Amino acid sequence: MKKYKLIFAIFFIIICLILIVLLKSREDNQDNTSMLNTPINTSLGGHFYLPSTLGKPLDSRELKGQITLMTFGYTNCEEVCPIGLMRLHQVIKELGKETKDINVIFVSFDSSHNLDELADYIHKFDSKIIGITGTEQEISNLTKLYGVVYPKGREIDGKALFDHNGFIYLLDQNGRVRAIYPNRTTSSTILKDITSLKENH
């Protein structure tokens, strides 16, 4: 069993290193144009109160006054989520000490996973990331607020797969959605928009 765990850990590290190289290469070939929306999109977002990996429920009202990056996915995701989470790790790393004023949230679609499993997954990418989940109805309510769709597909070894886009949402200090980043977005663009929100708050 220990042998298999070691092999899995080595494999995971190799995959992460490959993703870092690919993301860096992609950034070197793209511009860093701001994606902040004007006028502000008020049709997305809203209040939520859900169990989190912080050891207590996360109330979205506690996020007021801080900038938040939020993405949606699930722990069995092998393609979309790792790219998005590595992107968030890049942003956190480049922000350095300034991350104390930034919230980074991963919303899990899969209500069958407990918070310990969720924490184990997201913290492989960065310990700063906060995981939240809930019942199927609670997750459905939250995803509707942000226009997220995630049709459930087939199951492999009893684990559900979901079809989703992996967008990253940038929320300003008032909880308003200011940008929606596709997976191809560079960390430099996200950092530029965060800086703009901080300077104009």
pLDDT surpasses 70 at 32: no
Q: How confident is the model at residue 112 (pLDDT cuts 50, 70, 90)?
A: confident
Answer whether residue 33 shows pLDDT above 90.
no
Cis-peptide, bond into residue 51, ω within 30° of zero: no
CB 139 within 8 A of CB 110: no
Q: What DSSP letter does each residue of 92-146 carry, written as one string?
A: HHHHGGGGGGEEEEEEES-TTS-HHHHHHHHTTT-TTPEEE---HHHHHHHHHHT
pLDDT given for residue 28 in this prediction: 46
Strand pairing category for 152-156 and 159-162 = antiparallel
State yes or no: pLDDT of 57 exceeds 50. yes
* Amino acid symbol at 166: G
Lowest-confidence region among 23-37, 51-65, 85-99, 123-137: 23-37
Kindly report the backbone phi and psi dihedral angles of residue 175, in degrees, each rounded to the nearest multiple of 5, phi listed first: 80, 10
DSSP for residue 175: S
- Main-chain dihedrals φ then ψ at residue 185, nearest 5 degrees: -65, 140
Q: Which among 90, 120, 116, 105 is positioned nearest to 24, based on CA atoms?
A: 90
Tens-digit pLDDT profile for residues 115-143? 999 999 999 999 999 999 999 999 999 99
Q: Which fold has domain 2-199?
A: Glutaredoxin (3.40.30)
Residues in the chain: 201
